[in-house]
Amino acid sequence: MRVVKKPEERKAEMVAAAAKLFAEQGFVRTSVAEIVSAVDVAKGLFYYYFTTKDDMVRAVVEGYCSYLGTLADTIADGEGTAMEKLDRLLSHEAWEQCFTSPLVADLCMPQHAALYADMCDRVYAHMGPALERLTRQALCEQGADESQAATLSGVALYGILMMARTGKITMEQVGQTVHGLLAQAA
């Protein structure tokens, strides 16, 4: 006998199951049947909540980006200089998970460019405000004009995300690039 649950609870269970499967094997190799089997629901319920598997990918990415945004906010609002905070943010284990995840590897495939662009927009929406505050703090600490903080942080974030998609940048290089950009802005 199936357990009756509230719609938002059932949907959250499907997203959590998909997130786990996508992290293990990517979304290309994960079927809708595997997702619904993991939560013991009928396949039709999947399509009640999600039009396509890409919609599920977006829901999983949204959850992860929300986590990254919360992490960035916590670090940005914490103690330390802007550079210390940026180093804490960039050295967080979440980035290693991101760079090694089969989900992200699938998103980086050319045929999934639209999903990757959507992910970039979600990363920016969730992390942008905290990165702008960190950039503003860094510029202020260097006695520089803070008025370009939003532009500088946005260009840096989108540029890093695009380079990461092609595998042309490591986390160490990200740190060096961000430090260099902020130093030059002063």
Residues 160 and 78 in one domain: yes
60 found inside a domain: yes
129 found inside a domain: yes
**Which pLDDT does position 17 carry in this prediction?**
97
2 found inside a domain: no
- Contact in structure between 134 and 81 (CB atoms under 8 Å): no
Whether the pTM exceeds 0.75: the reply is yes
Residues 88 and 149 in one domain: yes
**Pairwise CA distance, residues 150 & 153, whole Å:** 5
Residues 84 and 171 in one domain: yes
Q: What is the CATH number of the domain that holds 156?
A: 1.10.357
1 found inside a domain: no
21 found inside a domain: yes
Residues 88 and 147 in one domain: yes
17 found inside a domain: yes
How many domains, the chain? 2
Residues 75 and 153 in one domain: yes
Mean pLDDT for the stretch of residues 17-42: 95
Tokens at 77, concatenated? 């609002």
Q: What is the CATH number of the domain that holds 41?
A: 1.10.10.60
Residues 24 and 60 in one domain: no
38 found inside a domain: yes
Residues 6+ apart with CB under 8 A from 7: 49
**Which pLDDT does position 2 carry in this prediction?**
64
**Which pLDDT does position 148 carry in this prediction?**
87
Banded model confidence at residue 1, pLDDT cuts 50, 70, 90: low
* Helix/strand/coil for 164: helix
Residues 82 and 130 in one domain: yes
**Pairwise CA distance, residues 14 & 20, whole Å:** 10
Residues 70 and 15 in one domain: no
Residues 42 and 114 in one domain: no
98 found inside a domain: yes
pLDDT tens-digit series, residues 98-144? 777 899 899 999 999 999 999 999 999 999 999 999 999 999 998 98
Look-up of token digits 């004009």: 145
